[in-house]
Structure 1
Amino acid sequence: MPHCTSYDGTEIAYRDQGEGPVLLALAGGPGRDAAYLGDLAGLDTVRRLVVPDGRGTGDTAPAPDPLAYSFPRLAQDVEALRRHLGLERFALLAHDAAAATAQAYAAEYRDRLTHLVLVAPGSRLQGVRPDDARAIFESRAGEPWWPDAVAALGELESADDLDRVRELLLLVAPMAYGRWDAPQRDHAAAEGAQTHPVPRAGFWQGVDEQARQSLLDRLREVTCPVLVVTGDRDAVTGMRAGEVVADSFPHARLRPLHAVGHYPWVDEPALFRPVVEEFLASGAAPGPS
């Protein structure tokens, strides 16, 4: 895999495939290998898809400083990759927790973005924790996997053995998908091995209330178009969190998808890809003068 050198000398590995305008995609978790993004339902057929491995995941080495796992620092790795690729401006997509990294990047480098796509974001950065994810989970009580998922969720709260945690993650995995068919099962089976506890633990560290509020204030100055994608079967982050995130920007549109969970490119690739393609083909904000 190619690498770029970030601000502290760390070599950030990234995948680079396809041709066309660059779409840089960030993996969530936090602390999960970017391999789970795949080709995002074939977006690499119309875009040059660049997918970095976050620190301590995939082919990127662990961080020498624990604070380098925090999402504002990870945004600096995105900027290093932009410089390395020689991009004046680019489109950025982020899934799940990486939406916080993408928002930190947008707040700091808003003139570098043509478009911003946030897929199944949470709203912890906004300081809001909507409860609709639980309601979505409860609404699926009639599905065969549900009793085991309920029991596993209860055990996850106190489990400290990594192997057992990975077993429990697989039991609760169906709640993250719109349905539990072969593609979803195959995708979920890799989660345990792709999740890294140290980067996960460090993601939200080192950001005090003043810094958080300053970041949110700067999001009001982001001029690029923003798309927030949610799924009506997402029992992980729900849909209301996406509404809260969209409200943080002056030019954001919300696109809820039906029968879709936390991974819309897995559940409904034929629905997800055109939505993103159409948005990326729309007009971008003017570049810096």
Structure 2
Amino acid sequence: MPTFTAADGTRLAYHLVGERAPGQRAPLVCVPGGPMRASAYLGDLGGLARRRGTVLLDLRGTGASETPADPATYRCDRQAADVEALREHLGLERVDLLAHSAGGDLALLYATRHPERVRSLTLVTARARALGVDFTARHRAEAGARRSHEPWFETARGPYERIWAGTATDADFDEAAPFFYGHWDAVAQAHAAEDAAQSNEAAAELYAPPEAFDPAAARAVVAAWDVPVLVLGGELDGGPLPRIAATIAGLFRRAELTVQTGAGHYPWLDDPEGFTGSVDRFLRGL
């Protein structure tokens, strides 16, 4: 498994998924969410890796990456240096960057610090607290109400509400899992079952404090940033709701918005062909 060394000496791992065809552009560098979930949950991104080789980064303290000596380095603004170290290790002048969920904040922090190093940015159901956009309990409730016809709704509703009220137990997270998938089928259930084992919960608590962000400064950078951005939301997702995804896209100078029909928070599982088609078209158009 390939590794590289971060600026503070922490050994970090990454995974090469898929193979680049001769003459194909550099691989797609992928930042996982969770927050602080090992990149294994991304899989091959619904087959996207077969069209475009991917580099999946295990954030410090997750997956095959080492635990840092200083837990304060779990803050997402400090992990931006890890993304830059990976770029340098790969020998890439500029990167095509894809981020999912909470990884959106890390990718945005990296991009606003190193705008000249990013060739394109793909935000998949991604957070944007770095730009001053957050997802509220009201947003989550609005998305959840759309699932009232599902057979699991009554069982999962209470646990889902307790998550956003800040009173959830581990069992509640398990019970509420169907809300995060467009289809609560065997694939989704297997994916959700791996969450706890793949996540560093202690690191997640340190990942995104308010002081990690300077939204006004970040917005000023992306408003003038002449780089193509794809914001991909899920029709059924509450983080972000489609209209909030549109708000995020509107903050960039060159962004396009795609809302995947019937998708939740993991759109590559809900409709692999639709997901890979959207991202692949965007990347081919660069």
Instruction: Judge same fold: TM > 0.5, yes or no.
Output: yes
Matching of residue 69 in structure 1 with residue 74 in structure 2: yes
Q: Is the counterpart of residue 90 in structure 1 residue 95 in structure 2?
A: yes
Within-5 A mapping of 1:120-269: 120-129=125-134, 131-156=138-163, 157-159=166-168, 165=170, 167-205=171-209, 207=211, 211-269=214-272
Instruction: Give distance in 2, aligned partners of 1:270 and 1:124.
Output: 29
Separation in 2, partners of 1:243, 1:235: 13
Do structure 1's residue 51 and structure 2's residue 51 form an aligned pair?
no
> Is the Cα–Cα contact under 8 Å of residues 6 and 12 in structure 1 kept in the other structure?
yes
Structure 2 residue 18 is matched with structure 1 residue 9? no
Distance change (3 Å), C-alpha of 1:169 and 1:208: closer
User: Is the counterpart of residue 274 in structure 1 residue 277 in structure 2?
Assistant: yes
Query: Identity of aligned pairs, percent?
Result: 37
Q: Are the equivalent residues in 2 in contact too, given 1:41–1:266 (CA < 8 A)?
A: yes
User: Aligned partner of 2:183: which letter?
Assistant: R
Please tell me the residue identity of whatever aligns with 2:70: D
Please state whether the residue corresponding to 2:130 is helix, strand or coil: coil
Shift of 1:271: 0.3
TM-score of the aligned structures, taking structure 1 as reference length:
0.90
Pair 1:41 & 2:49 matched: no
Tell me if the contact between 1:103 and 1:219 (Cα under 8 Å) persists in the aligned partners.
no
Deviations 1:52-84 (A, max 9, x none): 101111111222223311112121101100100
Number of aligned positions between the proteins: 277
State the match for 1:19 in structure 2.
19
Rounded to whole Å, the distance in 2 between the matches of 1:252 and 1:27 is 21
SS in 2 for 1:24: strand
- Contact 2:32–2:39, Cα closer than 8 Å, also in 1: yes
- Shift of residue 252 of structure 1? 0.6
Match of 2:23 in 1: none
Cα distance between partner residues in 1 of 2:30 and 2:198: 17
> After superposition, what is the alpha-carbon deviation per residue over 1:153-200, rounded to whole angstroms, capped at 9, x for unaligned?
3554335xxxx51x3222111101111111111111111222221221
Secondary structure of 1:179's counterpart equals coil
Counterpart-to-counterpart distance in 2, 1:90 and 1:122: 20
Please state how far the C-alpha of 1:19 moved relative to its aligned partner: 2.7
Deviation at 1:213, TM superposition (A): 2.2
Query: Match for 1:134: what amino acid?
Result: A
Task: State the distance in 2 between where 1:123 and 1:109 align.
Answer: 17
Structure 2 unaligned regions, length at least 5: 21-25
Residue 104 (1) aligns with residue 113 (2): no
The CA distance in 1 between the partners of 2:241 and 2:127, in whole Å, is 8
Q: Are 2:36 and 2:199, in contact at CA under 8 Å, matched by a contact in 1? A: yes
Matches of 1:60 and 1:217, distance apart in 2: 33
Deviation at residue 17 of structure 1 after TM alignment: 2.7
Give ranges in structure 1 of 5+ residues lacking alignment: 284-289
Q: TM-score, normalised by structure 2?
A: 0.91
